[in-house]
Amino acid sequence: MKRWWIFLFIFLIIGVAWWWLNKPTPFTVTFFDVGEGESALVQTPSGQNILIDGGPSAAVLQKLGGALPWTKRNIDLIILSHPHADHITGVIKVLERYKVRQVLTTDVLHTTPEYIAFLKLIKDKKIPLAIARTGQNIKLASGVSVDILWPPISYAGQQVDDLNSTSIVNKINFGETSVLFTGDTPIVNEQALITTSTNLRSQILKVAHQGSRTSSSEEFLRAVAPEFAVISVGKDNRFGHPHQEVLERLKNLSIKIFRTDIDGDISFVSDGKRWAKK
């Protein structure tokens, strides 16, 4: 009889542990505090993980380790907005240590050691690589979708003077809620998006280029009309980000501002109708 109780106890412990590790998660977006750079994780109710950029160092690995159960070491989609070091360096570390099912990038021509290492890892690990282009719609489980709003042309194999201008702008949707990721897209691209896009509105805006004055025009902010603005930025950075004029624009439009240099990691959850700060 005593042995029977021991087996029952072990079975219950295993069952509780299995439920805990596999319980449904709400739709969550977390903007990681990775210093002067950008990285965010989107987690869907069905357990899929989307990583947008990786920041300037291996710090993203610690962030992912804290956000994901140790039993789930998969990244379903990595979106690399553009190959500047403050976005791609952490992605390389993730590619080395996680099972990645797909990568979305512009594949613009770039010859830095980081970008070459990134492309080599994708090739060596045989990870499917998709080229971003306006109009793409990636459908995931649980009604989650990713709309690609920029770039309007393929930059694959092309050399450009300003990599920021190639930044992928993507909108991730769940029910009636959405979050807009802008990379380092400049004002000239914002103006084009206002003219050509019909679905810019999002409740959460990832402010472009760490809050630099080269982005976030008033017209663009009005077009997106976010409730929350997240600035991913390093503390006491040498660029003076975020610039005061951007902060003033956000405040004048009554947009609530969150900053990773002040608030640390920033998470929101959605029930499909509204966002809540986690």
For residue 67 the two structure tokens come to 């956000």
Residue 32's alpha-carbon distances to 72, 123, 199, 206, in angstroms, are: 18, 27, 26, 12
pLDDT at 15 over 50: no
Contact by Cβ (8 Å): 233, 261: yes
**pLDDT more than 90, % of the chain:** 86
pLDDT at 131 over 50: yes
pTM score: 0.91
| Residue-range domains of the chain with CATH | 26-277 (3.60.15.10)
Tens-place pLDDT, residues 133-161 = 999 999 998 899 999 999 999 999 999 99
Tens-place pLDDT, residues 27-53 = 999 999 999 999 999 999 999 999 999
Q: How confident is the model at residue 7 (pLDDT cuts 50, 70, 90)?
A: low
**pLDDT more than 70, % of the chain:** 91
* pLDDT recorded at residue 24: 57
pLDDT at 119 over 50: yes
Tens-place pLDDT, residues 70-118 = 877 899 999 999 999 999 999 999 999 999 999 999 999 999 999 999 9
* pLDDT recorded at residue 2: 56
Least confident of 21-25, 102-106, 259-263, 269-273: 21-25
Average pLDDT over residues 203-217: 97
